Each structure stands twice: as C-alpha cells, then as structure tokens.
Amino acid sequence: MLRSLLLLSGVLILAGHWFFEPLSANGQFIIFLTGIIFLGIPHGAADLLVANKSAESGKQKFYAIQFFAFYISRLIIFAVVIYFFPAAGIILFLLFAAYHFGETDLHFFNTKTVIGKVLVGSYGLVILSVILLNNMVELQQLIQLSGFTIERFPLLNWVAQHHYLVLSLSLLFFFCTIFLYFLLIKDTGSINEHFLVQFAVLVFLLFNLPLLVGFTFYFIVWHSVLSLQNIILYLKTGNKFSLGAVIKQVILYSTLALIGILIVGSLGFMFVSYQAFIIYIFMGLAVLTAPHMQIMHDMYGHIRKHHKIG
C-alpha cells in the first residue's frame, strides 16, 4: 500500500513537470535540500539504535564507543579514498549505493544465495543508471563544478560516451538476473505479484524526470520513506524500543549531523552556490554510504531471518 502511494506521488510530480512550467534550478534545490533535512538525514540517524537491536538479535553485547569508533573510521577511510582516488571512490560509491538501494527495495527477496545478491545489485544499478545516465548533460555539468574531469579516466569517459548503451545493458542484466532468480529459487518468500509492475512504473518516472528531481523523488520520497518504515518496524519488534525513543534518537542525531554539515561546509566554502552545495551533499552521501549500508545490511538480514526468508 505504501509503495503504491509513493508511486502515486511520483506520478503527480511527473504530471506537474509535464503540464506546468518546470521548476527553476533554485526551486529544485530547495525541495531537494528540504527532503534531505527532513527525510534523507533522519533515515540514517537511527543507525545507533539499529546496530544495538541487531547486536541483541545476534545475541551479542553492544558497545556504543565501539560502534562510533567503527562508524567514524569507515567515514574517514571512504572520505580519504574519494579525495585521493576520485575515480575509484566514485565507482565504489555507486556499487555500495546500488546494493543498498536494491537491498532496501528487495528486502523481502532471498538474498543469501549468490543469485539473490546479484539481483539486489543489478536492481540498484538500474535505478542509478536511469537517474544518472539518462541525464548525462546535467550530470556532467554538476561533476565539472567539483573540479573532477571524467575525460581523465578511460572507464568513466567510456561510460559517459556510451551512456544509453550502458543503461540498456543494466536493464538487460536485471531482467536476466530476475529470470534466473525465479528459475532457481524455490522459496521466493512474500514477493508481491505486482512487484514488476511497480518496478516498471518507478523506472518510467525516473526516466522522465530531470536529474535532481528524479534523485529527490527516489532517494527522499521512495528510499528514505521505505527505509524509515522498515527501521521503525524492526526497532519496535520485541518492544526493545518505543516509537518515542526512536523519534528522539532520530531527532538528536539528525541535529548533530546537520551541525556537522554546516561546520564542515562553511570551512570548505561549500555554500557559495546551490550547485556547489549539491556537490557537497552528494559527496556527504557518498561518505556516509559505507557505514550506513553495513548497518542496514545487518538489519535486513535479521528481518529476513525473522520472516524465514533466506
């Protein structure tokens, strides 16, 4: 039901884009920033509680100091990789993000098997390909603002020059993978029969929306809302955490994250223009992906085990 409502909101966004005057760049940025503040950051702000719950589910002790040490060390390591090895950092970020997006959207699939893991990755790659490669001109304009030049890196340059071919191959790879999944996996879990219809509508929306609007719809409206729903249901299992405790935790760490963004952004002169700030936000999301993805991966593993999937 929730997915259908989210898709309906996407249809309304697309209709507004088609039939009314398109939003200005500043208007798109304001909506994007608002979504990041109220949904994007909060959906990762419960990582401490999720890690605590996962430790309990695995019958292990949870130490907050150890959690923060590992979390921050991963942030630093990935930030260093992106700074000193930008091409490798971009590729790693896209692979991490693809798997994380796929695992969130397909958490009810059996992903303990190799074909299940490949399916999750191929799904996420389709989502990213549709958002990024179908808007290559806008993407290159944003990349240039960061001082990064695609032409210096043969693989990325080839992808940019053959973006529709890569997009088509990602779709073909996904459909081959999902065909093999249903062929090889006998226990397919509680997969909704409308899954492929929802996937087709989602891809259609992302294909027809501009880069920033499409990313805002997928990451803010779709991914963050579904993630928050799964996180809240997971944390409430066994009455370990009340809804009030979850909300307080999310508000606290969202506030701390925003303060950190303001401080680092000010020191790095990232607020000189909305384009620069967009680049800064994407870099921040890239750095946060590695530790957040691992925590969500553990959570979905426990969810599938609880529901006897995988």
Question: In the prediction, which pLDDT does 63 show?
Answer: 86
Percentage of residues of the chain with pLDDT beyond 70: 88
Torsion sign, CA atoms 220, 222, 225, 231? negative
Encode pLDDT of 72-104 as tens digits: 898 888 888 887 887 788 888 889 999 999 999
In this model, does residue 269 exceed pLDDT 60?
A: no
pLDDT for 310 equals 36
Asked if residues 105 and 123 have their Cβ atoms less than 8 Å apart, the reply is yes
Confidence of residue 275 (pLDDT cuts 50, 70, 90): low
Q: How many Å from the N-terminal Cα to the C-terminal Cα in the chain? A: 24
pLDDT confidence of residue 191: 64
Enter the pTM of the model.
0.88
Buried b (16+ CB within 10 A) or exposed e, 21-39: eebeeeebbebbbebbeeb
Tens digit of each residue's pLDDT (9 = 90 or more) over 162-218: 999 999 999 999 999 999 998 888 766 556 567 888 999 999 999 999 998 999 999
Instruction: For 116-174, give the DSSP string.
Output: HHHHHHHHHHHHHHHHHHTTHHHHHHHHHHTT--GGGSHHHHHHHHTHHHHHHHHHHHH
Q: Where are the domains of the chain?
A: 2-305
Count of CB atoms situated within 10 Å of the CB of 225:
17
Tens digit of each residue's pLDDT (9 = 90 or more) over 11-28: 999 999 898 887 787 788
Mean pLDDT of 251-269: 72
